[in-house]
Amino acid sequence: MPTYYLTPDGLEKFKKELDFLKNIKRKEIARRIERARDLGDLSENGEYQSAREEQSFTEGRVAELEHILRYGTIISHRGGENAVVSLGSSVVVLMNGEEKIFTIVGAAEANPIQCKISNESPLGNTLLGKKVGESIEYEAPKGKITCKILEVK
């Protein structure tokens, strides 16, 4: 079984999402299906089909979250002067003349919009094990990118 690396915040987020889906969303969908059934012929009932599709998606997400939580491993990181980039690290890098902050997380928790990058991504994988002051180079879709590690939190 794969291991899912989760930060404590990510663990809580997934637990809340699972609770919402099981205790609120399922009931909402059941009511939608019941109302659609009351409308009659199900073969041409768009509302019924839509509710069933949403039910299928929701049940798939419930199964996925239960799997992640069952096989998840909580990661934590301690920053400091001699810190090494590891899962859970927030890393300040100088990239293309700009300071950027990335948090290294497991693939299940990755969200590039929030600058949470997977340890399996090209940048995340290259940063692992590095220290403040080191420069790294990694292959991105745009080509090779070089950045310097300014801080590890």
Domains and CATH numbers, the chain: 4-74 (1.10.287.180), 90-152 (3.10.50.30)
Residue 120 φ then ψ, to 5°:
-90, -10
> Which pLDDT belongs to residue 80?
61
HSE-CB at 105 with a 13 A cutoff on CA atoms is 20
Mean pLDDT of 17-44: 89
* pLDDT bucket at 63, cuts 50 / 70 / 90: very high
Q: What is the mean pLDDT of the chain?
A: 92
* pLDDT bucket at 76, cuts 50 / 70 / 90: confident
Residue found by looking up tokens 């768009």 in the block: 46
Looking at residue 31, the DSSP 8-state letter turns out to be H
- Entry field: residues in the chain: 153
